[in-house]
Amino acid sequence: MVWDNSLPDAEVQMEKFLKAWPQVIVMAKLLHLKTDPNLYREVLKHYFEEKDASIVETVWRGLMGAKDQNDQGDGTDSKLDAGPDTAATMSLSNPIIPGFSPDPSIVKVGEWYFLVNSTFHMFPGIPVYASKDLVSWKHIGNVISRPGQVILKQSDTEVNRMPDVGEVMLATGGLFAPTIRYNNGTFYVVCTNVVRATEDTRYALQNFVATTRDIWSGQWDDLIWYDFDGIDPSILFDDDGKTYIQGSKSPGPYTRIAQFEIDIATGKKLSEEKILWEGTGGVYPEGPHIYKRNGWYCLMVSEGGTHEDHMITMARSRNVWGPYEPCPENPILVPASKDMYIRHTGHCDVFEDENGQWWGVLLGVRRDKDGRYNMGRESHLTPAKWADDWLRLESVEAEINTSRLASANAEQGLTAVEGVDFLYIRDPVLENYKIDSGSKTISVTSSSVDLSHPRESPSFVGKRQRLHAGQSSATFKISASSKVKTGLAVYKDEHRYLRVFYDTAERAVVYGFVNNAKDLKKTEQRALDRDVDTIQFRFEYTEREYRVFYTTGKDWEHVATLDTLDMTGPDFVGPVIGVFALAQESVTVEVADLQVE
């Protein structure tokens, strides 16, 4: 191990880093300004040894000016200045879309790539990300952006206890697994709204097509609904002008891949449904896509469920209706081994870049050795290739050699058009939120609906947590005479959230955490010695923990620390951090400087 004498006391700085996680990127930048970042990667590996590999990667991404320094929606990019010599050693880090970004689908149109994700119970639905180089991405809009396009009220989360494996799976309803395609000047997104049953209504799968001719406008036409009792729809525009929908057919106990011809302009079925393939024996064949290559219809699906046994398989036929012969080397992407950092990989869509290199975008989780994967399912990139008209996918790695990319020297990052990255729960009353043009001030009108409600929309607005190591904060201005509970929350669903808030009636700061799937619940209350009209809350977080703070003046008070393992489990969604206001009567809270990293 060689140390750089130009930076004395490096080990001491590492000790400070252990005690000050939120300053990780700042420290990394200081190190980089003084020496070669490659050396410090070796320093990190040497110092931390086997303690936690994720620490090495976190600091390394900081040194590289990687995507963890992303834009928070104000139109400016906060990536580090990695210096003029960094590009030659730079690599692309997975995930390419960090945070809550499951079930990716992608299409290349001209020089641009457009990627979409599932959003389940959150509104707006189905984000659209754009990139020219697969490295730097921008959130440009959302397919579901108008109240009433889709009703998300019955998108509640089912708690499914699995005693045979000792885990609890949480299955959220709402918008499942979109596919994006382009044909004759129009963009198409097909998706399913999973509607949970009530006492008066049955479980339903509402499938639709969304279209736009101007994807940059953020405006999509009224939805076209079609009948299909299944999820995960995909769309194939064949050479003869016919259009086909493929999907994962219900009812079960397991699913099968079905297809029918459709009039895409009206949603009318032009054929009966036909089962194309039942997979190779893994549970829940789903996420189908057909790619036409050299006269073959190549059908790619996911099997094994979306967690530990997730894998990709393929079959092909000379006829779009089959019969489909399975690939002799299935699975074409095996379930990730338990010693890998990126796990649960599957639900893939593939494409070719302008250099002729094939790639797959797919979901995966970053899982540490103790089982933490609090960020949930994220969008990753992996190289692919064709051999004898069969597809091969490489295992998903934390880093990708940028020499395979068309823009090898591009700087990784994630930005957003102002305002498009705000999220609400289910069907919000948008009149209850007023966000200024710079997103610096948010007026939130309270409701009596709490975060624990399975179907209504609480007064909550936030953004996806994008960083493993970062912080989120906001300042709240409150009338002491009002009776309101308002503060900051990390929200996954009605069963799992952590929050800190000021209760004006009790004149107290309250910390609360709930995970019904793990039978965990905790509440702590800290009385203040006076009424306050301004209070600030902050979360500091790493891959391992959330730390909760508040201040009413100069000094920050530590309230609680939560292990992220308590927020981790087999689920569909990821953390959203935002502000909320809860009251029996209508109260307006002014929130300043909401920052979510």
The rounded distance, in Å, linking the Cα atoms of 260 and 269 is 7
Furthest C-alpha separation in the chain: 77
Residues with a known catalytic role: 103, 286
Of all helices (H) and strands (E), which one includes residue 32? helix 24-34
* Rounded distance between C-alpha atoms, residue 436 and residue 461, angstroms: 14
Let me know: does 169 contact 344? Beta carbons within 8 Å: no
- Locate 242 and state its tokens: 């016919």
Q: Count other Cβ atoms within 10 Å, centred on residue 298.
A: 21
3-state secondary structure of 510: strand
DSSP 340: -
Residue 101 tokens, joined: 């970004």
- For 89, the 3-state DSSP assignment is helix
- Residue 434 CB: number of other CB atoms within 10 A? 13
In DSSP terms, 248 is beta-bridged to 231, 257
CA distance 102 to 376: 8
- Helix 10-19 crosses helix 37-48 at what angle (to 10 degrees)? 70
How, if at all, do strands 268-269 and 256-263 pair?
A: antiparallel
Q: State the CB neighbour count (10 A cutoff) for residue 466.
A: 27
Residue 11 dihedral angles phi and psi, to the nearest 5°: -65, -35
Of 406, 413, 404, nearest in space to 384 by CA: 404
186-195, strands of its sheet edge to edge: 174-183, 186-195, 204-212, 224-226
**Torsions phi, psi for 586 (to 5 deg):** -70, 120
Helices (H) and strands (E) in the chain, counts: 4, 41
For residues 177 and 193, what is the distance between their CA atoms, to the nearest angstrom?
9
Rg (CA), the chain: 24
Residues 584, 503: contact at Cβ < 8 Å?
A: no
Dihedrals φ, ψ of 52, to 5°?
-170, 105
Ramachandran region of residue 73, left (φ > 0), alpha (ψ -120 to 50) or beta? Answer: left
Cβ-proximal residues to 542 (8 Å cutoff; 6+ apart), any chain: 21, 24, 58, 468, 469, 564
